[in-house]
Structure 1
Amino acid sequence: MALQTHEESYVASPSIRDAESGYASGASSEASFPEVYFTKPHLKFLNAQLQQLEPQDILRWCITSLPGLYQTTAFGLTGLVTVDMLSKLGGPIKHNVDLIFLDTLYHFEETLSLVDRVRRRYGATIHVYKPEGCETADDFVAKHGDKLWETNEELYDYVAKVEPAERAYSELQVRAVLTGRRRSQGGKRGDLDIIEIDDAGMIKVNPLANWSFAQVQEYVNANKVPYNELLERGYKSVGDWHSTQPVAAGEDERSGRWKGRTKTECGIHNPKSRYAQFLMQQAQKQQEEELSQALQNVTMVA
């Protein structure tokens, strides 16, 4: 029998080579790769290292390390700074990151005007997601009733923000997102890490977590970054018109959101909204009932 040469022994398909070596490569045809994930020690280590870097360096790390990377933004100051920083990163690696904007149908006209200005200024690709089955506020009222944010706040957060975000992540195959959250915004954001993992396994990166409002504003002014005109009228954090007010002197940035209530987040950055938990419980209950019925049918046949 003829002997096989050293060179011939490696003439095999990528999948065979992967199987022989025990490793999978980027060229492998095997669908055996895990989703992007970090162990707790790895995440702790990364946060300790990234904590010492400037936002631009954190963004470079994200671009080179995280597949399926997008930026979620309501076009607040911090998100706008991130967009501008990304547009100015040098190097051979593609630095354009698509934006995801959740149009609740209740944004200020000034916010919608800003979206168009950002698109023109940076040539950004903006994926707009609205409440399912709704194109206008009238559609929303017809489907969910008038002033849902007052009659059922949890349901409003879910249908206007949480569900559209989940739909965006699924359709766009998002694995990691850049957010505009900072510790100095107060509330539940006071102990933010640079990298966080939510309950669904989504990687959330807060590149400007260390910055103060003054630093953000200084960058905006120095780089002539377009911003929401409402900021000149006392607003520091802008959301829906029905739940956003100007901020008084001495109050934290997000005190104008949901004024007079203990609420500080809309559900997108909460572990799970109560309404989302209710839906999960209902689905689990239905599965249990279907399984019980199936077992009864099997018993009757036997």
Structure 2
Amino acid sequence: MAYDPAQLPGLEARLDAELRRADPEAILARAVEVFPQGLALVSSFGAESAVLLHMAAQVRPDLPILFLDTGMLFAQTLDYRRALTARLGLTDVRDLRPAFADLATADPRSDLWRTSTDACCEVRKVLPLERGLEGFGAWITGRKRFHGGDRLSLPVVESAEGRIKFNPLANWDKSDLDAYMERHALPPHPLVEHGYPSLGCWPCTQPVEAGQDVRAGRWAGSEKTECGIHVARTPGAVNDLGGDI
């Protein structure tokens, strides 16, 4: 069954009911079947990204991979992106970067993260992804329920901003990921061994202590738990990209 835009209302509920207990590989294969065109995988090339990228490479190595290069990533993440792309044979990895005009207006000194992490994420992640997703009717994420917070109730298939979102790893926990990495001899992100179980931009990511939540090092000390790309947009929430209203 290929995707028909007229079927979007209710499509996510039907697919979620069908796939909610399916293996991640089966979910990916179904996503490619329903969306033979207009499907992308959004990856951070972070601590757990190798699992989903490896699965995608087995299903469709030319699947578009959208990578948000914010300009503030760890150098190790950029190195890992290049190495893993070559290792897995991914043929269509697209680097999404913030627009020069947006940076010139909102963050000319590259220090917006000090005063408004929400506005910084908006200009460096949310807006580039919006532009990068143009022309795609569906996308794949690497989110999992065990990460906690709003992700505890994460469905396998959902809709947002007029697109279908597939979350193939929603049901998996850390042991599933570790077992898959070992089974396929996948290289870990180089910062994992230094206490970074979840990785974002260097100003807003810290190592975590043993026993802490996986995402405890993201925006530590604040109430922020998501960068914004998985949060419903509220028009006017950020004023001219320069700060919270």
* TM-score, with length taken from structure 2: 0.88
Shift of 1:95: 5.3
Q: Provide the residue aligned with 1:151 in structure 2.
A: 115
Shift of 1:181: 0.3
What SS does the corresponding residue of 1:204 show, helix, strand or coil? strand
4+ residue runs of structure 1 moved beyond 2 angstroms?
33-40, 42-46, 76-79, 86-89, 139-146, 273-279
Give CA-to-partner distance per residue, 1:127-169, whole Å, 9 cap, x none: 00111017xxxx7699533410122322211110111001111
Q: Provide the residue aligned with 1:204 in structure 2.
A: 165
2:232 is equivalent to residue 271 of structure 1: yes
What SS does the corresponding residue of 1:251 show, helix, strand or coil? coil
Q: Provide the residue aligned with 1:57 in structure 2.
A: 26
What SS does the corresponding residue of 1:88 show, helix, strand or coil? helix
Shift of 1:86: 2.3
- Judged with a 3 Å threshold, the aligned counterparts in structure 2 of structure 1 residues 205 and 36 are, in CA distance, closer, same or farther, namely farther
In structure 1, stretches of 5+ residues that fail to align are 1-25, 27-32, 280-302
Shift of 1:85: 1.4
What SS does the corresponding residue of 2:94 show, helix, strand or coil? strand
Q: Provide the residue aligned with 1:10 in structure 2.
A: none
Q: What's the C-alpha RMSD, in Å, of the aligned pairs?
A: 2.5
Shift of 1:123: 2.4
Shift of 1:77: 4.2
More RCO (CA 8 Å, sep 6+): 2
2:227 is equivalent to residue 257 of structure 1: no
Counterpart amino acid of 1:162? Answer: V
Greater per-residue helix proportion: 1
Q: Provide the residue aligned with 2:63 in structure 1.
A: 97
Residues 154 and 273 of structure 1 are in contact (CA less than 8 Å); yes or no, is this contact kept in structure 2? no
Match of 2:187 among 210, 226, 236: 226
What SS does the corresponding residue of 2:133 show, helix, strand or coil? helix
* TM-score, with length taken from structure 1: 0.72
Residues 245 and 259 of structure 1 are in contact (CA less than 8 Å); yes or no, is this contact kept in structure 2? yes
Give CA-to-partner distance per residue, 1:183-221, whole Å, 9 cap, x none: 0011111100011111x2121110010000121122112
- Judged with a 3 Å threshold, the aligned counterparts in structure 2 of structure 1 residues 277 and 261 are, in CA distance, closer, same or farther, namely closer
Quote the Cα distance in structure 2 between the aligned partners of 1:114 and 1:223: 17
In structure 2, stretches of 5+ residues that fail to align are 241-245
Alignment of 1:78-157 (within 5 A): 78-89=48-59, 94=60, 96-124=62-90, 125-133=92-100, 143-157=107-121
Greater per-residue strand proportion: 2
Match of 1:71 among 41, 58, 72: 41
Match of 2:154 among 168, 180, 192: 192
Quote the Cα distance in structure 2 between the aligned partners of 1:174 and 1:44: 19
